Amino acid sequence: MKNNALKQLSFLLLMLLFVASGFSQTQKRPVIGISSTTGEGTNTSAPLTYVQSVIRAGGVPVILPLTDDPELLSRMLDVVDGVIMTGGEDIDPLKYFGEEPIPGLGEISPSRDAFDITLIKMAVKRGLPVLGICRGHQLMNVAFGGTLYQDMPSQVKTPLLKHRQSAPGNYGTHSISIEKGSLLNKQISKESVAVNSFHHQAVKDVAPGFKVTARSKDGIVEAIEMEGSQRVFGVQFHPEVFTSKGDDTFLGIFKHLINEASKK
Ligand code: MN
């Protein structure tokens, strides 16, 4: 009888431990590394909108400072569960997709290019979920063998829409059509949506192993995802501007990233 009671007690204790460990796991918010810029070399920063979007979606944001030391970068990745590649400068066409620069090319940042390309390759190799936004989305394409329009207005021969809006950042100015069944479709539960637009570069040739999942009406690529992966995807627009302002239209994009990150 005494033995039986002891068994029951230890069973209860085990159950308690099991439930407690389950709770601590679901409550442990995943850490999301956010790629940064050094500006003129005086600071390390990322727009607050990315930080706020990660927090709103249930993640813990950390900013990944630039380094040219791959070992240091590798240790940074040891402590994150997912990565966001942020917007910013144009990507060096000569170094990363073998094209001479045309007059319409904007400012490039060699140190940021080198860091970002190493970061995204390392993160994907580790199986970490990665969300690319604007420059980050273009960089994802280039890192895996794709090319870009260096400057859409001077390179796209067919009529273009306005992709550099003169409207508030959290206001959608052009629509996109989203592939049914794609990650973006599942994340925001829409096949058409108005997005903001702040770019003059865009994906031209899609990288092998990636597919286009959204386009604007002029045919410009507005979203890509890695085929056969649920965790590597990019958008040309800026969902973080909506999400950080409390608009839930694109919150699902960040929630998906954080959900994938929690499975690390
Ligand atoms: Mn656009």
pLDDT in tens, 185-235: 999 999 999 999 999 999 999 999 999 999 999 999 999 999 999 999 999
| Cα–chain center distance at 242 | 15
Of the candidates 225, 229, 179, the one whose C-alpha atom is nearest the C-alpha of residue 206 is 225
Instruction: State how far the Cα of 260 lies from the Cα of 264, in Å rounded to an integer.
Output: 7
Q: What's the gap in Å between 27 CA and the centre of ligand 1? A: 37
- With residue 5 as reference, give the H or E element that holds it: helix 2-27
CA of 87 from ligand 1 middle (Å) equals 13
Q: Check whether 25 has a pLDDT greater than 60.
A: no
Residue 23 has pLDDT above 90, yes or no: no
Place of tokens 């249930």: 58
Specify whether 240 is catalytic: yes
Give SS3 for 213.
Answer: strand
Tens of pLDDT, residue by residue over 56-91, are 999 999 999 999 999 999 999 999 999 999 999 999
pLDDT value of position 19: 55
Q: How far is the CA of 177 from the centre of ligand 1 (A)?
A: 12
Strands (E), 103-185: 130-133, 148-149, 174-178
For 118-153, give one letter per residue: b (16+ CB within 10 A) or e: bbbebbbeeebbbbbbbbbbbbbbbbbebbbbbbbe
Query: Which candidate in 163, 199, 200, 238 is catalytic?
Result: 238
On the question of pLDDT at 110 being above 90, the answer is yes
Span from the CA of 128 to the centroid of ligand 1 (angstroms):
27
Distance 7 CA to ligand 1 centre (A): 64
pLDDT at 154: 97
Q: Which residues contact 18 (CB under 8 A, 6 or more apart)?
A: none
What is the Cα–Cα distance from 36 to 85, expressed in whole angstroms? 8
Active site residue 260: no
In the residue annotation, 137 being an active-site residue is answered as no
Q: Is the pLDDT of residue 24 over 80?
A: no
